[in-house]
Amino acid sequence: MRRLVILFAVLALALPLSSCEQILLCPLKKWGNRVEEQREKRTVHPFELFLTTTEPELDYVRFYGESQDVKTTLDPAPSDWFELSSTPNNAFRFSLEGRYAEFTDNTYCTVDIHLNPTEGVPFKLNTKYHFGDVVGRELDGYVLDDSFMELWLVNYNDKDIRQWDFLSTYGWIEFTALGTNPESNNPFVYDGASVIDAKFYFETVDQETGKLLLRAEDCSFRNCWGSAYVQE
């Protein structure tokens, strides 16, 4: 009988404790998830491309990077990574330079994106912006003048370094999100830096032969921080 009384007493104490634990752990779990989300927002910046090239021979090869280079300027600013701004003629300008992605430890690429102002073409999310040779293509968005993407592909070993430079002849980009990075813990990135997401495509064709030299498809960058001064 005494054992039953003790057992019931233990159970009576355990049940409230379990409830209390759940009450306490639930906010802690949510807080932990928020911390992890903020950590990822501060430190993980996915940049992904799938490359097909004739030289070197690549067939839909994935290049990926998740960090933005720390700039070496003495006074770094968010615009060192990307810059998005409005221009007086109801247009916008966007530039991103030196984004890194690798295939293997000794094969990598860097990408520049330069979108120059085109009168009457405003910045909008979820809208495609085409550039380059658009003749004969189905255009489901705006066309930008004097805009391009450039990719440097590098392969190196103990003996030599090989590099290929591809300048786009056609491409498009679609910005999918624009926000802020309110709690950066990176000393090279200021609190309040803008954060932008996009998906894009570009290709390089030999102007004389029409031969495809490079196709960069299913490309994207997310949580890319920098500087933005536009109205969405």
Give per-residue pLDDT as tens, 40-51: 555 678 999 999
Average pLDDT, the chain: 82
Domain residue spans in the chain?
1-43, 44-229
Q: Is the pLDDT confidence value at 140 over 80?
A: yes
CB 110 within 8 A of CB 103: no
Four-point Cα dihedral 121, 125, 128, 132, nearest 10: 50
Most confident of 43-47, 66-70, 135-139, 192-196: 135-139
Range with lowest mean pLDDT among 69-73, 114-118, 131-135: 69-73
Is the per-residue pLDDT at 133 higher than 70?
A: yes
pTM over 0.85? The answer is no
Whether the per-residue pLDDT at 70 is higher than 70: the answer is no
pLDDT in tens, 164-197: 999 999 999 999 999 876 655 554 555 567 889 9
Residue 3 has pLDDT above 70, yes or no: no
pLDDT category of residue 117 using cuts at 50, 70 and 90: very high
Q: What is the largest CA-CA distance in the chain?
A: 98
